[in-house]
Amino acid sequence: MQSNTKGRKKIDINDYMVYIIFATVLAIFAVWLGGTFFSMSNILNITRQAGATAVMAVGMVFVIGLGHIDLSIGSVVALSAMIIAMILRTTNNIFLALTAGLALGAVVGAFNGFAVVKLKMPAFLVTLGVSSVIRGIAMWTTNTKAVPIVNKTFNHWFGAGNVGVVPVLLLWTILALVLGYFVLEWTPFGKRTMATGGNYMASKYSGVKVELITFQVFIIMGVISALAGALYAGRMQTARWSYGDGVEMDVIAAVVLGGTSMAGGNGSIVGAVVGALLINMINNGLVIGGFNTAQQIIMKGIIIILAVALGSVKTKKRA
């Protein structure tokens, strides 16, 4: 007698781990913090806090799914925010400011991609070095001084505003999720990116332009990071060299918790966005619960370790 389970796809609980953790954390906060945490104002505040991280997480799905990593995103956030703020202060031209900021991200991404593809440098090391250079330039540009942004239109649509009761940053998150999901699941680019991450040589011999895809993914990540810089600046209505400091760890943890393997070859846009919301929800809950900065840093470290552990489990199961 044949088993009626033959041919069915086996369910891997690791694919749903981020949702399980999300529900568990919600339950814990419900018991511990009650109505203070679940107030509408606080829930909307979490979506604001997670906005830029979630947008970058969508881009990082493609980078990690490709089998690489980008540690320069936090510094690109800072420098793009500074450039946007300075151009707005001088010209008050939103289009010009955004174009310059996004162009910076594209240039940094192109350099990262060139170093990885043509110079055969490990992405981890080259983006770590680029991160230091870009952060230093952001500090040097204004001698570590903040640059205020008084353009109300920019501040409204890039972070501080609402459409009705819905934060603009939540709308940016939804837009990134929809576009990222479409590209990953329904376009040749998304499928070839994951195929390249899963088996580089097989994809190359199959006619996939693996070097071009790698180059393009790093450029896209740079542009998305620059957009996140605009979202940081708009939300805070100012630009600072310290923006994005350490955010790469949050983004990577969100992506891996969301189901993307560090070894490459697969990715989950929805999981990455949920992971970003989870990390910011935990940070928010810890603040409300009275945890100090040191304790919050410890918890963030635990989250990163958990993300790496889950990624390792997924990689071993695929092997």
pLDDT of residue 224: 97
pLDDT of residue 1: 42
**Does a structural domain hold residue 20?**
no
pLDDT of residue 5: 44
Total structural domains within the chain: 1
Q: What's the CA gap between 279 and 25, in Å, rounded?
A: 10
**Does a structural domain hold residue 102?**
yes
pLDDT (tens digit per residue) in 209-244: 999 999 999 999 999 999 999 999 999 999 999 999
**Does a structural domain hold residue 318?**
no
Q: 66 near 214, Cβ under 8 Å? A: yes
pLDDT in tens, the chain (319 residues): 444 544 455 656 666 778 888 888 888 888 888 778 888 889 999 999 999 999 999 999 999 999 999 999 999 999 999 999 999 999 999 999 999 999 999 999 999 999 999 999 999 999 999 999 999 999 998 888 999 999 999 999 998 899 988 999 999 999 999 999 999 999 999 999 999 999 888 988 888 899 999 999 999 999 999 999 999 999 999 999 999 998 999 999 999 988 888 888 888 999 999 999 999 998 888 888 888 888 888 887 887 787 767 666 655 555 5
Q: 63 near 124, Cβ under 8 Å? A: no
Residue 238: φ, ψ to 5° = -165, 165
Residue 301 sits in a domain whose CATH number is 1.10.3470
**Does a structural domain hold residue 1?**
no
pLDDT of residue 8: 55
**Does a structural domain hold residue 26?**
no
Using alpha carbons, select from 64, 66, 105 the residue that is nearest to residue 82: 105
Range of the domain at 191: 36-312
Q: What's the CA gap between 194 and 313, in Å, rounded?
A: 19
Q: What's the CA gap between 107 and 80, in Å, rounded?
A: 11
What pTM does this model have?
0.91
Q: How many CB atoms lie within 10 A of CB 114?
A: 16
Q: What's the CA gap between 152 and 215, in Å, rounded?
A: 36
**Does a structural domain hold residue 202?**
yes
pLDDT of residue 313: 61
DSSP letter assigned to residue 159: I
Q: What's the CA gap between 234 and 227, in Å, rounded?
A: 11
**Does a structural domain hold residue 17?**
no
**Does a structural domain hold residue 4?**
no
